[in-house]
Structure 1
């Protein structure tokens, strides 16, 4: 048994590294005394779905606040069994970003998510309930290194959590490539690995008393863990990829890139990504450039290029777009395929200040072009299934109506009236501008945003927003109540008990946070209800106010009606309706329905 020692603010901690099968007996005895365990894994990468194509679990680590054990699972079956016993025997497991480790354990050790989830506490979720702000927002952040720095010890954060950068240099590689090649018993690697369960254990015991009492009373802690499990099940299922379609789009985009690159070449630009070459070319054409970078050089970003009326600018914009679309959407999906031809999104179930979910990885769905099936055709329902989209109608505005109890809004929604047209008529503007005023109020935009997004002049923008305030006066009352609460306490609370920090001087944002977070929780509630009703195997992605499904073709209509019924929700007398659209096999086909709302 190898022993490593480290100090956290003068407190000695010990890392025990199991080296031989004889050492496992001591680990087993220790487990008997520690029913609550900090837990972490070290792997060859993040692609847990490639368990049959080289992905490996290297280490499994377990610890309490002062001691940890590192199990070299990579060495073989006795070590695998030791880790399995620890996981199955523990009363409670505490891990940071726990769903990743659960995926790893299921793929590598065969213990299903359904077994691990009920006993697992995630410190990322816990930290979000205490303070959801990122470091750039002057909050503690949500990464383990950031939280260690804020709540435990900045020295530990720098020396231990930041040590992988130094370790990568030692192996003459990068932080992203170090994981499969670092020697299993490298002491720097073992220190990094062995500290993680200790830090997770300590972090939870620091954070739990800081979770607001209202949050605990409302059951939000367990609710968010259940939601994280459901999104983990969706991640595990993955999305079937139409590889032929993706590869055809890649070929088209490559040809498009080459075509526009040749246009740029004719204007003397050999490298369209060279700012210097582009600046020289445009100055040579007599085009005046004024925007500069932070270093004082002339800028050549999309804003500058879009403002230049010249074929070279068009060529650069379109060439860059082709290259970006290739890499961001189609190549990323193809690179992320598992051996069954499926891709697995990373669904961050609790993200942003308002807890809004985000989707990253092989399916960055929130970046796909709105209302367009071009990218979405790449994702398929199962063989014999069809793609179905069920989304909520006017979720944010109905949530606003429910909590403001504004009579005009309530009347409009109760009687199927067009709220956007009501706002437009009140301001004497087109419906599009009225719709903009409605949503800018919800999303926290002012008259400047209306000018930029809807192409109206300042006077029209101000008149339209003023008309909104006059037409729906109870919205202003709610906004003032929330702003007053934010000024007084620095927070607002949502109906689910979520505490949302509101920065000093930005009390006006309280309404936006309240509605955005509340709307997110409507989607979260829908996911939980659907999972409880047995719909988890059919769900493919949650995207803001929309949930995607793969339903058997012959039962699609019935399943869509039932799923929509489960999703619908009434808040303070206001129905949040859900409506389904049934496409063909590809997700993109839903958007091409004649009466599609997308």
Structure 2
């Protein structure tokens, strides 16, 4: 059974971000409303995305906090809150409450500390915790029970995600922040030390204390600055550490119980008044419709649907049939066979594609004309339905007919569903989700959103039909009449949305190419890759888990012997009692409430002199490894296939890149021994090997092609080490005399410019003065004038059009490049430089997948693509086909496009993914 979720929202972080992210909107009376609009959108989206029963939106209270007492200069340089934002604070609090969210403000502490404390208490009480924030400091809270999400960037960070993003695991984020400092909060760090240097030092020396202990060994200006900061660092660490043991009694009723934080029903009447006052017309229409009297649904299933709204009325000229007999079925089957294009939709008993079974089917052959076939509805009032197996048997020839064009919304899912019933869906001609994605990747692509955008109606939602949360019922228990309307309307809307989107795509040759030649074939191929899955050696992971479990038990006993009694090694309170009350260990620091702290920094320091803190730290590290990796992956193995089947999300990233989830293959860490050990469990079956093929320096090659810079073209054309060649140009040094330090600088500049890095970012990355960084950039542009011209031309064209394009015609819209303020516009300009390269790389790997699979099929090979991760394809290869794969896959990948520099794909071979990588 899954854990209940507590959703914690960093309201203070989001109201500032909403204010700066939104244009200067004004209400009917001229009052500013941009931040209000952003907060409402975020809070509504969160309720839809996270199935939480308990939640709270936490804001900073007015007045000083304990950090101001520690360090009077804390946040001293922060600019006062803009008046336009201050005016919106009270309305934001009002509307957040109307949307059903509890609000929390605790004087004397920051929102971060309240969130940290709530997260700890909730996790100890058995909750999964989701923290919604845009604040990097909160990454220190992430553990096996706590995840961060950012609704403004659609970013989600678990342990692996934090490690991948920052280069350090969550338990080292405090050390990382201490070294860098925080200019926003006026917390000094080590001068000139940025994210890369901080992560590098921590990786090399293990922790902040390790860095401090090795300060004399660190050379150069950075080492000098570190030694100057040694006296300050303990206070810096204290300031950036989120408190986990604040006293919230008096602010959270019945603390530490969490029942008072239950999400409430939305106050529709209150929202109607609020949206009227502040001029939010679309949302006003939404709540007004919800408040309007609805016709009572036909009585059935007792009170099962008493709290669910009746379905919205279909257009007056719509005809939605419910097929309950063979005569009606045959009549509709004839329509399907005669129609030039049919929209179809499956209703199922699961969202998991590999497990979902059909409950009903709907079809639409023209606008306003659709039908639903109920097949597995249950309940006392359910009518007699046609037998599932016979219906599918009669439909199978049409479903598998490649000459019968079909349309759907995210048909990759339906392809899996039909496959679960032994049907290979063919003739997939169009997918409205992918049409929307190709046209407007920066917008949402759900059918309801598309219907509202293009047809002026969103239709009945799944939640309208089945309810939400713990009260949600299975689709099979939905009254057939309601289910028929819902499903038939989906197919009808899908067909009508297609009629709006398809002409727009046809009119643009570049978009047409991306849709027809890249996205549609990729969707079909991803369904195959997902179905294949990847073999996981559960025994290896289980053996590791067993070893870890034995070691954890031994550590417990060793800790008990040192302590003289049993105690909970996961309880900070019990640890504190043992360490400080019973054993009398020195108190290193105290919490906000004055209690001795037992955080990792304290245990690290005490572990240098005392055995018990060292045992506790070892226990924590091994427990995280066990729960996150070695325990979880074996549980995700499909019992029928013996494999793990990830889901590739195709319509998410605006650049065209794929993402994966359950498991997220793209976030398995590769820089740590633990991550590599996890990859060792992705194995080949007997008689096979794993082959990894990825593009070499793909985005730099694309930069050379697009910019046509002679220096870059020559370096790649002659097969030189491009970073060494760059260094030779920038430092005016013969290639053979380039030092490793010069090459490192050149590599940082090469990759930095791809992501629009300026002098400030380069200075932080290299740990040098900003003026020196500017000089290096000037030298680079003097030698690589084509790159500078590309960047200037791209920004100008993006500002003119509002978007940039990949080499294949994919459009990446940048709304802020024309309408944003200074920081937002600068960010959009940086994105305009990188997006064509990252988007082209995404197009290339998709084309490579398609080309390789076509060759495998044409030649009857048994080699199978089992994973796609960024610029890498992973294959499961029979030993007899290895030579072919090693020769042909790189050739095929290099041949999907003709650039002005050679495309290079490299392969590795092994018995598992780690060996092959």
Deviation at 1:406, TM superposition (A): 0.9
Question: d(CA) in 2 for partners of 1:48 and 1:562?
Answer: 32
Q: 1:358 to 1:277 in 2, by over 3 A?
A: farther
Partner of 1:56: 357
Deviation at 1:369, TM superposition (A): 1.1
Deviation at 1:471, TM superposition (A): 3.3
Larger radius of gyration: 2
User: Which of 524, 531, 540 does residue 245 from structure 1 map onto?
Assistant: 540
Please identify, of 197-206 and 82-91, the stretch whose mean Cα deviation from structure 2 is larger.
Answer: 82-91
Deviation at 1:325, TM superposition (A): 6.5
User: Which of 425, 430, 433 does residue 124 from structure 1 map onto?
Assistant: 433
Deviation at 1:514, TM superposition (A): 0.5
Contact 1:49 1:338 in 2 (8 A): no
Partner of 1:547: 873
Deviation at 1:101, TM superposition (A): 0.4
Partner of 2:486: 192
User: Which of 690, 693, 701 does residue 398 from structure 1 map onto?
Assistant: 701
Question: d(CA) in 1 for partners of 2:573 and 2:685?
Answer: 49
Partner of 2:513: 219
Question: d(CA) in 1 for partners of 2:871 and 2:550?
Answer: 36
Partner of 2:3: none
Contact 1:9 1:153 in 2 (8 A): no
Deviation at 1:483, TM superposition (A): 1.0
Superposition pairs of residues 369-448 of structure 1, within 5 angstroms: 369-371=669-671, 373-424=676-727, 426=730, 429-447=741-759
Partner of 1:295: none
SS at match of 2:902: strand
Deviation at 1:6, TM superposition (A): 6.0
Q: 1:39 to 1:577 in 2, by over 3 A?
A: same
SS at match of 1:375: helix
User: Which of 36, 48, 59 does residue 341 from structure 2 map onto?
Assistant: 36
CA deviation string 1:108-146 (max 9, x = no partner): 1x2225xx1x4331111111111001xxxxxx3123333
Partner of 1:78: 390
Q: Which has the higher contact order (CA 8 A, sep 6+)?
A: 1
User: Which of 785, 790, 794 does residue 482 from structure 1 map onto?
Assistant: 794
Q: 1:195 to 1:225 in 2, by over 3 A?
A: same
Partner of 1:293: none
CA deviation string 1:385-439 (max 9, x = no partner): 1111111111110111011111111121122322223445636945334322222
Please identify, of 122-131 and 333-342, the stretch whose mean Cα deviation from structure 2 is larger.
Answer: 333-342
Question: d(CA) in 1 for partners of 2:397 and 2:887?
Answer: 44
Q: 1:102 to 1:400 in 2, by over 3 A?
A: same
Matched, 1:201 2:480: no
Q: 1:218 to 1:478 in 2, by over 3 A?
A: farther
Partner of 2:370: 68
User: Which of 568, 572, 587 does residue 899 from structure 2 map onto?
Assistant: 572
Please identify, of 516-525 and 243-252, the stretch whose mean Cα deviation from structure 2 is larger.
Answer: 243-252
Deviation at 1:213, TM superposition (A): 3.2
Partner of 2:627: 326
Matched, 1:96 2:424: no
Matched, 1:228 2:523: yes
Matched, 1:47 2:359: no
Superposition pairs of residues 170-185 of structure 1, within 5 angstroms: 172-174=470-472, 178-179=473-474, 182-183=476-477, 185=479
Superposition pairs of residues 223-372 of structure 1, within 5 angstroms: 223=517, 224-252=519-547, 254=549, 285=587, 287=589, 310=605, 319=620, 322-323=623-624, 326-327=627-628, 331-362=632-663, 364-371=664-671
Contact 2:412 2:527 in 1 (8 A): yes
Please identify, of 446-455 and 308-317, the stretch whose mean Cα deviation from structure 2 is larger.
Answer: 308-317
Q: TM-score if structure 1 supplies the norm length?
A: 0.80
Deviation at 1:473, TM superposition (A): 1.9
Deviation at 1:472, TM superposition (A): 2.0
Unaligned runs of 5+ in 2: 1-297, 299-309, 377-386, 582-586, 608-612, 732-738, 817-824
Deviation at 1:377, TM superposition (A): 1.5
Q: 1:497 to 1:21 in 2, by over 3 A?
A: same
Question: d(CA) in 1 for partners of 2:373 and 2:808?
Answer: 40
User: Which of 210, 221, 225 does residue 504 from structure 2 map onto?
Assistant: 210
Q: 1:419 to 1:354 in 2, by over 3 A?
A: same
CA deviation string 1:351-398 (max 9, x = no partner): 411101112224x21011125531111122232011111111111101
Matched, 1:559 2:885: yes
Count of residue pairs brought into register by the alignment: 551
Question: d(CA) in 2 for partners of 1:147 and 1:314?
Answer: 56
Deviation at 1:94, TM superposition (A): 1.2
Q: 1:466 to 1:379 in 2, by over 3 A?
A: same
Question: d(CA) in 2 for partners of 1:469 and 1:77?
Answer: 67
SS at match of 1:38: strand
Deviation at 1:466, TM superposition (A): 4.1
Contact 1:402 1:571 in 2 (8 A): no
Contact 2:705 2:900 in 1 (8 A): yes
CA deviation string 1:147-205 (max 9, x = no partner): 3343333553xx42442562x46xx445xxx44x6415454444333322122112211
Q: 1:13 to 1:256 in 2, by over 3 A?
A: farther
Contact 1:220 1:496 in 2 (8 A): yes
Deviation at 1:323, TM superposition (A): 3.5
Q: 1:160 to 1:184 in 2, by over 3 A?
A: closer
Contact 2:361 2:374 in 1 (8 A): yes
Question: d(CA) in 2 for partners of 1:65 and 1:107?
Answer: 30
Question: d(CA) in 2 for partners of 1:394 and 1:331?
Answer: 33
Unaligned runs of 5+ in 1: 134-139, 291-299, 592-598
Question: d(CA) in 1 for partners of 2:501 and 2:556?
Answer: 54
Please identify, of 199-208 and 566-575, the stretch whose mean Cα deviation from structure 2 is larger.
Answer: 566-575
Contact 2:311 2:464 in 1 (8 A): no
Partner of 2:461: 160
Q: TM-score if structure 2 supplies the norm length?
A: 0.54
